[in-house]
Amino acid sequence: MDTIGEYTGNLLNHVEALYRPGERELAVEFAEMLGCAVTDTGFPSLAGTTFLAVHPNKRDLNVEHNVFYISEMNPEQVAIEAMLKKHAEENPALRAQLDIYTDRARGMPFGIPHFAMRYRSPAELDAIEARLAAHPKLKDRCHLRIYRPGEEGAAMPIIQGFIHQDVIVSGSMLYGQLIELQSTVNGEFEHAA
């Protein structure tokens, strides 16, 4: 099988995430920093822009499968996010709980809602880490923690990188989005029968 379109079984085909108004270019830069290709679907969103398709496999630009979409946040969510942010700023207990959540997402991300992408090589995760550290806008909004087998905190015999960020989210911008980046040590994955 060379492309996802050749797969004949059931599959999970997409996740939809949002970016803040005015941050479309930054959202694209973030997706490309993850090693993905980004294409414009041409399909209009309710915010007046178009949906973008983010392809983990740059050689397969199928806009229906093995993809996640990003679009500008709708005005209704912008209003809710503003209210939540104001409430968090005015409520020290809520602010403290959000800080605890963020620390957990960045320090021990297991059990925090996320979606995952698989990479063929650990070198790809190292390259993402380097690109993130060098990006002037993303390095302060993204936190990457990589767990390698045998290291303290590692949960599986694969390499798991967790990036906590607030550039694209499938929930609330207030608590961000966790994305898992995984690879095996040797780049070989076992396939279930």
Taking 90 as the threshold, does the pLDDT of residue 183 lie above it? yes
Structure confidence at residue 193 (pLDDT): 41
Q: What fold is seen in the domain 4-72?
A: glyoxalase-related enzyme like fold (3.30.1900)
φ/ψ of residue 19, rounded to 5? -125, 160
Provide the pLDDT for residue 2: 65
For residue 146, the cross-strand partners are: 161
pLDDT digits 0-9 by tens, 149-165? 988 888 888 999 999 99
Q: What is the mean pLDDT of residues 171-178?
A: 95
- Mean of pLDDT values over 5-14: 73
Task: For residue 92, give every residue at least 6 positions away whose Cβ sits within 8 Å of its Cβ, in sequence order, or none.
Answer: none
Give the phi and the psi of residue 163 in degrees, each rounded to 5. Answer: -110, 120
Compute the average pLDDT of residues 172-180: 95
The pLDDT of residue 155: 83
Local structure of residue 79 (DSSP, 8 states): H
pLDDT at residue 192 is higher than 50:
no
Euclidean distance between CA atoms 165 and 145, whole angstroms: 12
Amino acid letter for position 48:
G
Question: pTM to 2 decimals?
Answer: 0.90
Average pLDDT (87-97) is 97
Over the stretch 117-156, which tens digit does the pLDDT of each residue have?
999 999 999 999 999 999 999 999 999 999 999 888 888 8
Which ranges in the chain are annotated with CATH 3.30.1900? 4-72
